[in-house]
C-alpha cells in the first residue's frame, strides 16, 4: 500500500466484541481487520503510519456534561453535532443512553491515546455517511453494502472476501478519513465541543 494511509475504526463498546478496522490508501485500496483491544488498535495505527483515524464512536461529551454518570453535574444528552444529525433526519443514539455510555468512555480514552502518538482522531458515523452517499446501511444487507462500497471505488480485501458488518463500517469510516485528509468533507457541530466529519455528498 502507499505511504499515505488512512484508518477507519468501527469501535465496539467492549473489548469482548469485535471492532472493525480498515487501512485505506489514496487509491482506495483497503485492508480490513477484526480487532478487540485498544492496544491492538494502536498497534495497527502505528503500523499503518496513518495520521488521521476516523472512529465510529462518540469522542467527546456534550458541553456542560462532566461525566457519564446518571447523577453527574450537567445532564445534557445531546451535542451540537447530534442536534445537526437530527435536523438532517439521520437516526442516532445519544451518548448518555445505556450501552452508548461504555462506547463513549472507550472512544474518549482512545482519542487521548492516539493524540499521544501524534495521530488525529476524528469522529464519524458510518450510518450517516451511508445515508448521505445513498447506500444501504449494513442492517439492510451486508452484500449490498459491500457492493456499494466497491462501486465507490474501494478495492483490495473488499474484492477478495465477504467482509463482516464491522469491517464494512470501518471501510466507510476510512473513506471519511481520506476525505478529511484531502480537505473535502462535511463537518457538523461545535468546534468547542467536537465536530462530526461526514462526506459532502455522493462521490
The CATH number assigned to the domain holding 172 equals 3.30.420.10
pLDDT digits (tens, 9 = 90+) for 50-66: 999 999 999 998 887 76
For residue 203, being part of any structural domain is answered with no
How far is CA 182 from each of CA 25, 179, 188, 191, rounded to the nearest angstrom? 12, 5, 17, 19
For residue 151, being part of any structural domain is answered with yes
pTM above 0.85, yes or no: yes
The answer to whether the Cα torsion of 111, 24, 147, 33 is positive or negative is negative
Strand, coil or helix: 16: coil
Helices and strands (H and E) in the chain: how many: 7, 8
Domain enclosing residue 89, as ranges = 5-198
pLDDT digits (tens, 9 = 90+) for 48-105: 999 999 999 999 988 877 666 666 655 677 899 999 999 999 988 888 777 888 999 9
Percentage, residues of the chain above pLDDT 90:
80
Total domains, the chain: 1
The answer to whether the Cα torsion of 138, 142, 144, 147 is positive or negative is positive
How far is CA 158 from each of CA 45, 172, 187, rounded to the nearest angstrom? 19, 12, 27
Amino acid at each position: 500500500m502507499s505511504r499515505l494511509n488512512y484508518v477507519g475504526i468501527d469501535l465496539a463498546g467492549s473489548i469482548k466484541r469485535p471492532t472493525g478496522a480498515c487501512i485505506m490508501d489514496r487509491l482506495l485500496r483497503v485492508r480490513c481487520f477484526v480487532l478487540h483491544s485498544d492496544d491492538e488498535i494502536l498497534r495497527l495505527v502505528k503500523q499503518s503510519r496513518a495520521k488521521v483515524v476516523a472512529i465510529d464512536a462518540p469522542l467527546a461529551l456534550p458541553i456542560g456534561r462532566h461525566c457519564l454518570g446518571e447523577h453527574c453535574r450537567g445532564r445534557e444528552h445531546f451535542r451540537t453535532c447530534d442536534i445537526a444529525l437530527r435536523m438532517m433526519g439521520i437516526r442516532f443514539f445519544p451518548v448518555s443512553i445505556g450501552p452508548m455510555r461504555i462506547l463513549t468512555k472507550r472512544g474518549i480514552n482512545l482519542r487521548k491515546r492516539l493524540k499521544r502518538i501524534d495521530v488525529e482522531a476524528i469522529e464519524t458515523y458510518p450510518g450517516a455517511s451511508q445515508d448521505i452517499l445513498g447506500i444501504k446501511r449494513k442492517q439492510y444487507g451486508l452484500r449490498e453494502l459491500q457492493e456499494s462500497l466497491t462501486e465507490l471505488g474501494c478495492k483490495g480485501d473488499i474484492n477478495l472476501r465477504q467482509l463482516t458488518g464491522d469491517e464494512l463500517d470501518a471501510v466507510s469510516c476510512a473513506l471519511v478519513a481520506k476525505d478529511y485528509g484531502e480537505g473535502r468533507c462535511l463537518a457538523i457541530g461545535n468546534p468547542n465541543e467536537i465536530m462530526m466529519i461526514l462526506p459532502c455528498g455522493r462521490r
